[in-house]
Structure 1
Amino acid sequence: MTAQFTAEVDQNEYLPEGGRVVDAIVTVTAQGGDLRDASTALTAAQVILVDTSGSMAMPGTKIAEAKKATAVAIDTLRDGVAFAVVAGTAGAHMIYPGDTRMVPANPQTRAEAKAAVSRLRADGGTAIGRWLDLANYLFAGQQAEVKHAILLTDGQNQHETPAELQRVLDACEGKFICDSRGVGTDWVATELRKVASTLLGTADGLEDPSELPAAFRSMTEAAMGKSVADVSLRVWTPAGSKIRFVKQVFPQVEELTGRKVEVSARIGDYPTGAWGAESRDYHISVEVEPDTIGEEVLAARFSLVSGGSVLTEKLVLARWTDDTALSTKINPQVAHYTGQAELASVIQEGLKARDEGDAETATAKLGRAVQLANESGHEGTAKLLARVVDVVDAPTGTVRLKKQVAGVDAELTNVRSTKTVRVKKKQPEEG
């Protein structure tokens, strides 16, 4: 069976007289879609892009663990899944198969691919866009419902310009999903996040190369477990209303507003990629035309669609009241995720200011980040922030910039800045 979708809405539907802005958090959960049976799972294709630049040999554990991780990913593929392995340097080179095509996974091709991977050597530069360009070419020859790439790098994208990388990402957008990972101490968080954001994947950094095999297995299992492809978040708004923004806010912050594909004058689709058994939260903000006190209107209709089928649907309402106790009540979910989105933003802004030597702005932004992490109970982010600032008082956001910070500490804080935690809902009181 494919995943079964359900949705629930958290909002305060009450607006004051003349109020226009309606905010809602929609939680979508897909269950029963983590499939391993090749007869019922979606068809899939996977390209593994492994950095083999010279720095991967410093230390040699990086290239050694990258080989192990690639072998693990190959073993995790279902029989019949088309795959290829690409070595990335200042160019992109086929490791397996030997020519520019993909082959179905089976005992023979897995063994051949792992043998080819075992012979990899680290030598050359880094041009991530060229790796992705080859992956795009390979995927173009496949009819698979889920097209997934893993990109591993240990360094900066030194052998092409940001504009060149952007052109490739624009060409790849919507063609396949890519999870990007950095290993070691010299990768750049903004580059990994750009790749993952554009290609609807995830980004992260691994301090210890020994973490690579488990990471590659996890990413491949997630791709193999997808059961519904090309899912879009569809939002309908009434005449006179307009979308202020649409964001994914869990498990990570992802701005979707600019990705709108217009279905009609009042309906827009926002791509969300493929789904397995998982749960995601979205923040929808709509500006509506004010109505009279006591009136209730439909502010938006939210649905998930795939291949013309509606997977789940929920309504976002607006009701005007002169009761200030109702209209001023802040919905905990909306407040929580508004803070989580701000948390991601101030971390990125603070680290950028720090890199530019603006200590005052960096201190203010990172102090606010510490305060928000403390308020939301985001312990993982709080621990990362403590690696770049000395926390004097978390509740007030009083911090001092650390004089000496390892580069990887700042990059880990940056790349994980968009990861969010869910609000802790209060349990109903007994009695």
Structure 2
Amino acid sequence: MAVFTAEVFQNEFMADGATDVHAIVTVTSSGAGAAGASGAGVAEIVMIDSSGSMAGPNLDAAKYAAQVAVDQIADGTWFAIVSGSHVAARVFPYPNAALDMVQMEQGARAEAKRAIGRIAATGGTAMSTWLLLADRLFATVPQARQRHAILLTDGKNESEPRHALSDAVRRVTGHFQCDARGVGSRWEVEELREISTALLGGLELIADPNEIAADFRALVQRSMARGVADAELRVWVPQGGQTLFVRQVSPTVEDLTARRTEVNALTGAYPTGSWGDEQRDYHVAVRVASKPVGTEQLAARVQIAVDGQVLASGLVKARWSDDASLTARISPEVAHYTGQAELASAIQEGLAARAAGDEATATVKLGRAVQLAQETGNDEATSRLRRVVEIDDATEGTVRLKRDVARLDEMALDTASTKTTRVKR
């Protein structure tokens, strides 16, 4: 049985008149077990782009990667393979099969790999059809509470109106998790980010098609290692209080605020998806009424719950003081992750401004990104930023835009913008 713990990091001292309380809550899961061990409780779908643009090395590599992924799916897991172009097709189980998804066993594994080998490139790209088909397939195995998909594409979603993809994402949100992968430089980061963010998955650029197989192998292994199908972060605030925002800040920045559902009048729940043995950090900000100096109050109770059962809890406190040496302290955890969240926004806004031809805004935003990466010790972000800007002074955030930037370098910076470094404790 999984064991969860919650640890709160904050400066609980508040200045006279202050109302906003910030805390970093570290949630750790251990003993989660393996998803595959629960057999019929797990379902996996691999979706690969089979549009005309994939013809050649990309499709060859994608088919091989899908076969590698099939080898990682644990026996007993419900699974299916989908090929996607301007329409979606179930490759395995075969179209004439009685079941939409089958449980993995030796014979099914061999037939699935054979079916993948027959996929041919043709048509355009309409990813809404891929997601909707996956949703219909998952719906046929209600006993599988843990549902995970992989989506791989090499192109833009150009065979349907833009709103069709957004509509589909909204329809399937909460039904399954999905990791999105883009191979090469012709796909749009924002399209795949919309999918991965809503479906609680990761987003990665795969520059070299030869790297798809290793990535797919790792994705399925990670999925099979997550023995908790779904957990939610619950935030209670006192009467009159307000939750300002809830963000996952490690290992990636994901704003969960808009995903809130009501548990009761004082408590909201935020989805976190499936868990293995791992650790994640969340930034919780709440607003409470100011109290007289010397007053102490519970500002929030943060809990992790599985199947409605609370497994761990942490307390966020507020203590009003007129001692500036106490109230002026900034929690290093809060400061670190506030900077990391701003870093992600600065990179994305800077790249968007650059694409729109607004060089002044791009320079300011990317300069601020360089400064934040320096302050928070995010060396990976600094390295990626150097491929887009010339850094004159990292501490001051003084940069110059490079004139000739490879699209792959821009995409690598964009897709990795939400990855964070853990705070040093």
Same fold (TM over 0.5): yes
Alignment CA distance shift 1:36-1:236 (3 Å): closer
| Equivalence for 1:428 | none
| Equivalence for 1:97 | 93
**Matched residues in 2 for 1:276 and 1:69: separation?**
23
**Matched residues in 1 for 2:363 and 2:35: separation?**
48
**Matched residues in 2 for 1:34 and 1:214: separation?**
23
Q: Give the superposition deviation at 1:32.
A: 2.0
**Matched residues in 2 for 1:6 and 1:200: separation?**
21
TM-score (norm 1): 0.96
**Matched residues in 1 for 2:67 and 2:87: separation?**
22
- Whether the aligned pair in 2 keeps the contact of 1:229 and 1:273 (CA below 8 Å) is yes
Q: Give the superposition deviation at 1:37.
A: 6.2
Q: Give the superposition deviation at 1:181.
A: 0.4
In structure 2, stretches of 5+ residues that fail to align are none
| Equivalence for 1:367 | 367
Q: What does 1:283-322 align with in structure 2 at a 5 Å threshold? A: 283-322=283-322
Partner secondary structure for residue 246 of structure 2? strand
- Whether the aligned pair in 1 keeps the contact of 2:50 and 2:85 (CA below 8 Å) is yes
**Matched residues in 2 for 1:107 and 1:253: separation?**
39
**Matched residues in 1 for 2:2 and 2:208: separation?**
35
**Matched residues in 2 for 1:37 and 1:353: separation?**
45
Q: Give the superposition deviation at 1:41.
A: 6.7
Q: Give the superposition deviation at 1:204.
A: 0.7
- Whether the aligned pair in 2 keeps the contact of 1:84 and 1:101 (CA below 8 Å) is yes
Residue in structure 2 matching 1:45, options 29, 43, 46: 43
**Matched residues in 1 for 2:90 and 2:339: separation?**
44
The count of aligned residue pairs is: 421
**Matched residues in 2 for 1:263 and 1:162: separation?**
34
Alignment CA distance shift 1:42-1:261 (3 Å): farther
**Matched residues in 1 for 2:338 and 2:274: separation?**
26
- Whether the aligned pair in 2 keeps the contact of 1:190 and 1:415 (CA below 8 Å) is no
Q: What does 1:188-337 align with in structure 2 at a 5 Å threshold? A: 188-337=188-337
Partner secondary structure for residue 235 of structure 1? strand
Query: What letter is aligned with 2:267?
Result: I
My pick for the range that moved more, 168-177 or 89-98, is 89-98
Query: What letter is aligned with 2:50?
Result: T
| Equivalence for 2:27 | 28
Q: Give the superposition deviation at 1:224.
A: 0.9
Q: Give the superposition deviation at 1:162.
A: 2.2
Partner secondary structure for residue 100 of structure 2? coil
**Matched residues in 2 for 1:22 and 1:135: separation?**
41
Partner secondary structure for residue 302 of structure 2? strand
| Equivalence for 1:429 | none
Q: Give the superposition deviation at 1:9.
A: 0.6
**Matched residues in 1 for 2:418 and 2:39: separation?**
30
**Matched residues in 2 for 1:353 and 1:75: separation?**
43
Q: Give the superposition deviation at 1:230.
A: 2.2
**Matched residues in 2 for 1:290 and 1:55: separation?**
59
Q: Tell whether 2:6 aligns with 1:7.
A: yes
**Matched residues in 1 for 2:252 and 2:377: separation?**
15
CA distances 1:198-237 after superposition (whole Å, capped 9, x unpaired): 0011111111111111111111111111111221100100
| Equivalence for 2:162 | 162
Give RMSD over aligned pairs.
1.2
- Whether the aligned pair in 2 keeps the contact of 1:41 and 1:226 (CA below 8 Å) is no
Query: What letter is aligned with 1:87?
Result: S
Residue in structure 1 matching 2:70, options 55, 71, 74: 74
**Matched residues in 2 for 1:361 and 1:406: separation?**
20
Alignment CA distance shift 1:36-1:285 (3 Å): closer
Partner secondary structure for residue 166 of structure 2? helix
Partner secondary structure for residue 167 of structure 1? helix
Partner secondary structure for residue 79 of structure 1? coil
- Whether the aligned pair in 2 keeps the contact of 1:42 and 1:146 (CA below 8 Å) is no
**Matched residues in 2 for 1:354 and 1:292: separation?**
49
| Equivalence for 1:120 | 119
- Percent identical pairs in the alignment equals 50
- Whether the aligned pair in 2 keeps the contact of 1:192 and 1:415 (CA below 8 Å) is no
Partner secondary structure for residue 381 of structure 1? helix
Partner secondary structure for residue 194 of structure 1? helix
CA distances 1:144-183 after superposition (whole Å, capped 9, x unpaired): 0210000000111111222111110111000000000011
Partner secondary structure for residue 64 of structure 1? helix
Alignment CA distance shift 1:330-1:41 (3 Å): farther
- Whether the aligned pair in 1 keeps the contact of 2:35 and 2:223 (CA below 8 Å) is no
Query: What letter is aligned with 1:136?
Result: D
**Matched residues in 2 for 1:254 and 1:41: separation?**
30
| Equivalence for 1:64 | 60
Q: Give the superposition deviation at 1:49.
A: 0.5
Query: What letter is aligned with 1:62?
Result: N
Q: Give the superposition deviation at 1:36.
A: 6.5
**Matched residues in 2 for 1:42 and 1:5: separation?**
24
Q: Give the superposition deviation at 1:42.
A: 7.6
